[in-house]
Amino acid sequence: AMNEKYKMRLGKFLILILAAAGILWISMFFLRQYTARESVASGSARIVYGTSSYTRPDKSHLATDRETNIEYIDNELLAWKRDDMPENEFKAYLEEHHMEIVGKMSSISLYQLRLEGTYSYERLMELAAQMTEQKAAKSAGPNITCGIVSGSRSEENGSAGTEALEWLPWGLQAVEMEGAWSLTKGIEKKINVGVLDTGFFTEHEDLVFAETPLANSLYDEDGKIESHGTHVAGILAASSDPDKGICGAIPLDQRNLYGASVFGMRIDRDRVDFMGLGTALNYLIAQKNCKVVNLSLICFGKEEMIKEMNGENPNGEALVPRLEELLEGFLEKGCDFVICKAAGNQKEVDASWDPFAAIESPRVRERILVTGAAAGEDGRLFLADYSSPGQRVDLAAPGGIEDDIISTGVEPGFFQIPQSGFVGMSGTSMAAPYVSGAAALVWLADPELTGAQVKEILCDTADIPLENCSGRKLLDAAKAVETAINEKNK
């Protein structure tokens, strides 16, 4: 009888332990969800990286100018300090005019300044002009915002299942990536590559990051786990271990992978301020020396898409000169780069509407590669009908149809805790990292090339025909690397 009582007590004790563990797991999950939502809504997050920093504005300071319809932060200015102005004099000027430094890009002396009170867009423009006239800054202006959406057509991330995995996905085969690897085999140096995207599951068994991505967050504006950034990173740089999953475009031993998450810099839903977007680029290009940056994002939100179809996009137009100035600043400081950009998935909207694609500065434009999406079916290759058109599209790469680009993803597991998975997606988002991988291999083949020369080689050698397109053709990674090697050996 004593034995039975002991067993009953032990059973009850074990049930209590399991119940407590379950409550703990559930609490951790909801705390994680709550924290993800709060981190977006609070606006108090400060990001420090090296000698640079950024403070996300509070969403209560999102304002829209009634005259121009430009959305901006109503209590901030951005100022590029003059190179010949001592730091102490600059800070004295700011103190005199009641401006507080809340962020800084050390590489290009760009400061995020917080003002007392709130201001109209016109008044902020006047204060900016005053700073330049008084030689406190070589350039200044309001901290404008933009919408950020992914260049994927997939509404939901469906699991691919391990039976659907191919170690060498069809996209890599289509662009002759194996030929490029054979040409760069034996090169022992590594190239730094960056991915600016939604967020990344750094614990994925098939992904290896050099360090935790900047401002990393896995959760979308509704607090749901999101796979886009993880998927894009896998196309570019999955570990290439056949026992773990799939092969990325760049061999593991030839790259260092860095990431920056726009989810962690989001002010409200799809809104990001220019300082936040610039911080991500500064981290990747200037601090981590990423020669290739993949941008599988469209830099206008859903509202802007409607405006653009009606021929207007004030925030996009205002963003272009700021992006030019930022990227020119990196080049002036000796930070060369190639940005491989998704063209977009709106066939009614020209690819040049995106602020990055609209940049006209020759030095910057010749380093931004806009990528359309190709699809494959029954051995045929053709331009995907959703791919945004226009003369600004430089070449095409596999973007797929019906979510047939399989890559790394993140899935909700036990109690919705994120876990490794493989998902299928399609879109120009998926096309861009193939080009990023080829760009990295070209630069590995000849490190003396400039970013402009890398882009030129990739475009000139993209001659794999697409059935329904007489203009832009498909990336040929092997031919691009071979051309770089031949030019180097001349």
CB 356, CB 323: distance < 8 Å: yes
What's the Cα-to-Cα distance from 276 to each of 100, 174, 271, 316, 334, rounded to whole Å? 17, 36, 10, 16, 22
CB 178, CB 454: distance < 8 Å: no
Element containing residue 437 per DSSP (H, E): helix 428-445
What's the Cα-to-Cα distance from 263 to each of 19, 40, 217, 227, 266, rounded to whole Å? 34, 8, 6, 12, 5
Q: Alpha-carbon distance 59 to 37, whole Å?
A: 13
Q: Is 246 exposed, middle or buried (0-12, 13-18, 19+ CB in 10 A)?
A: buried
Catalytic residue among 65, 197, 206, 350: 197
Q: Alpha-carbon distance 195 to 270, whole Å?
A: 18
Long-range pairs for 82-86: beta carbons < 8 A, 24 or more residues apart? 82/135, 82/136, 82/137, 82/138, 83/109, 83/138, 85/135, 85/136
Sequence letter at residue 157: N
Q: Alpha-carbon distance 107 to 216, whole Å?
A: 22
Catalytic residue among 152, 204, 228, 273: 228
* DSSP for 346-392, written as a single string: -TTS-GGGSHHHH---HHHHTTEEEEEEEEEETTEEEE-TTS--STT
CB 287, CB 108: distance < 8 Å: no
- Is 463 noted as a catalytic residue in this protein? no
Edge-to-edge strand list for the sheet holding 418-425: 158-159, 418-425, 405-412
- Is 220 noted as a catalytic residue in this protein? no
- Is 44 noted as a catalytic residue in this protein? no
Catalytic residue among 350, 429, 436, 446: 429
* Residues classed as catalytic: 197, 228, 429
